[in-house]
Each structure stands twice: as C-alpha cells, then as structure tokens.
Amino acid sequence: MAGKKTRRDEAARSYRVSLDDSHPPERTISLAGRLSLADANQLHEDLLKGAQSPASESLTLDLSGIEYLDSAAMAVVFDIERITKAAGKKFQLSGLTGAVEGLLTLVDSEKLTALSTGKKPKPERMLAQIGGAALSLLADARAFIVFVGDATSAMAGSLVNPKTVRWRDTLYYMERAGADALPLVGLVSFLLGLILGFQSLMQLKQFGANIYAANLVGLSVLRELGPLMTCILVAGRSGSAFAAEIGTMKVNEEVDALTTMGFDPVRFLAVPRILALMLVVPLLTIYSDFLGLLGGLIVGVAMGDLTVSAYLLQSHKTIKLWDIGQGLIKGEAYAIIVALVGCMRGFQARGNGASVGQATTSAVVSGIFLIIVIDAILTLMFQYFS
C-alpha cells in the first residue's frame, strides 16, 4: 500500500527529477516539467537528497526541460545552491532558457532565499534600538510641532471668521465629550474623594487632627486630582474617538477628497473637536471638583467625627479662588493637548485598519503622557511664580 501511495504521489507531481552520475565526481540533476509553489516543499526534498552525495564534488542543475518556473521554485533552487556551496562543493546551472534566465535577472537571490527558508533577521543591538527610538521620538516631536502650527493657524482663521466654524459639529462633540462623560467622570471623582478622605483621616487621627482632612482633600482635588483625572478620562474617551474617526477617514481617502475639493482638513475636521474640548473640559473639571469634595465630606462626617458645618468651614478657610483657578487652567491646557494629539494621530493613519488601531492606542498613551508632563510644568510654575 505504501509503494502504491508513493507512485501515486509521484504521478501527481508536475515535474520530473533525474540524476546523472556518469561523470564522477560531478553529479547532474535534470529537472523537467512545471515547477511551482504547489510542489515547492517536495521539490526542495528531492533536490536536497540529490545534492547530499559524499562522493560528488560538484553539482550541476540542468533546467533545460523546464516548461514553467515561478519565484517559489526559484527560491528552492537558490537554497540548494546555498547548501551546496556551504558543503564546499561547486554549483552551477545549465540549460537556461530565455524565460528562466530572464527570471533569474529579476530575482534577488539572498532576500528570496532568506524569506523562503524562514531565516529570522538578526536582532538589532541595544545601542541601535536606543538610537532608533530617539530618532522616532524626535520625528514625532517634529510632527507634533508642525501640527500645532497648522491647528493654531486654522483656529486663528476660525476666530477671524466665526461663520466658517462648523458649529453644529462643535455642539455634537461637546455633547459626546461633555454630557456623555458626566456619569463616568462623576463616579470616578466621587470615589477618588472618598479614597483621599479616608487615607487622610487614617493618618491625621493619630495626631487628633481630623479637621485637617478637609484641607488635604480640598487642595488635592482642586489643584491636581480633579482636572487630572477628568482629562485622563477625556483622553481615553474623546481623544481615542478623535483618532479613530479621523484615521478611518484618512484610510478611506475621505481626507484626500476634502483636500481635492479645496477644504483644509485641519480646519474642517480638527477645529470643531478642539473647540469642543476647550469649551467643555473646564465645566467637567468644576463638576469633578464638586463631587470629589463631596466624597471627602462624606468620609469626614462618617468616619472623622466631624460635623458638616465644621468640615465646610475648614474647607472655606483653606480653599482660595486661585486654587480653583489653577485647576481650571490645567484642565484647559490638558484639553488642548488631548484634542491636538487625538487629531494628529488620526491624520497620521496610513494604509489599512490596523493603522487606525495603532493611531487610537498612540493617541491615548501620548495624550496621558503629555498631560503628566504639562501637569509637572504648570505645578512648578504656579508654585514659584504665583
């Protein structure tokens, strides 16, 4: 049964192999028929068996009987050549017809052999990886600066002529980034106030200074955590949505169509989104601050043996108008960063749907990173210059 199966398999092949050892130590392998991708694996096995002869010192591959040859079969031939030469033997091709010889001139043997045999590229050295990452970071920074310039120019043009702003789209994005985010922002801010109040009380109780939990919660929420958590959530919701929407339009060539029709894509697509976040994030920040303070109040009254009036009075003594102003300034800065990064990543999408996913992920990561950087800068400025 096995012999019948072998003969049946050989009959199904589209090529024939014959060995000639009449001129030792030279061995000739003659191929005839059609060599294609379908038989590439079997062809490689047959040629490898014929090439591995300890008695032969050279191998000649006769292709005069070939009727058809594709790149997969040519990759097999090149790989046999590599193996033969690695064994210290001579290798040559003979009987090249015009079509086969023309294909040989078009094919890069090294790249085709490496691809067909599954050779893994050598990993880059650590220094090269660091250099590549640094160059990529510089290119990203340059692209961001260029986009900031384009967006600033488009915003200035819109302010000069407000009728050109797509206000309906701006209101739509305000609803999506603002009203739709209220439940999530409110829940996170309230829980954050509870946690912050609880942790503050656990430490202050040791010194009988429960009342100062109002100071810690108030200043932390208004100056830092309120705007910070709000804009991190906005980056995850709206920044990613901006990148995905514009990236999909970019991949579908809708952005190119806008350019062809004479529209400025940045002014047409980015300006409504930037304006929406600039208008809605300060309101979200105030909403987040209120719920964060409410969470701290509940913990202070429930666990700190404080009355509502005492907690509110202490908060009133501690909190100044400038504390609220710091949070609003930070929130506005974060909003601009999130909108710019989200739109820029969308415009950078190329090729297919996978690039849209990469742009979306990069918009969230880059946005949160820049929020932290801007937070550090503004905190130092407010500390030493106010």
Q: What pLDDT is attached to residue 14? A: 79
Topology of 11-116 in CATH?
A: Transcription Regulator spoIIAA (3.30.750)
- Cα separation, 252 vs 239, in Å, equals 20
Strands 58-69 and 26-35: parallel
Q: What pLDDT is attached to residue 226? A: 93
Q: What pLDDT is attached to residue 224? A: 92
pLDDT tens by residue, the chain, 386 residues? 334 444 444 445 778 888 877 777 788 888 888 877 777 888 888 788 777 766 677 888 888 788 777 777 777 888 888 887 877 788 888 777 766 666 666 666 565 555 444 455 566 678 888 888 888 889 889 999 999 999 999 999 888 888 888 999 999 999 999 999 999 999 999 999 999 999 999 999 888 888 999 999 999 999 999 999 999 999 999 999 999 999 999 888 899 898 888 888 999 999 999 999 999 999 999 999 999 999 999 999 998 888 999 999 999 999 999 999 999 999 999 999 999 999 999 998 887 778 898 899 999 999 999 999 999 999 999 988 86
Q: Which of 123, 39, 50, 122 is nearest to 74 (CA)?
A: 39
Beta bridge partners of 61: 29, 93
Q: What pLDDT is attached to residue 117? A: 46
| Backbone φ and ψ of 89, nearest 5° | -105, 160
The amino acid at residue 107 is: V
Cβ atoms of 13 and 42 closer than 8 Å: yes
Q: What pLDDT is attached to residue 114? A: 54
Q: What pLDDT is attached to residue 298? A: 94
Going from N- to C-terminal start, the domains of the chain cover: 11-116, 146-385
Q: What is the DSSP letter of 14?
A: S
- Cα separation, 285 vs 239, in Å, equals 17
Cβ atoms of 234 and 331 closer than 8 Å: no
Residue with tokens 């008695």: 55
Q: Could you tell me the maximum CA-CA distance found in the chain, to the nearest angstrom?
A: 109
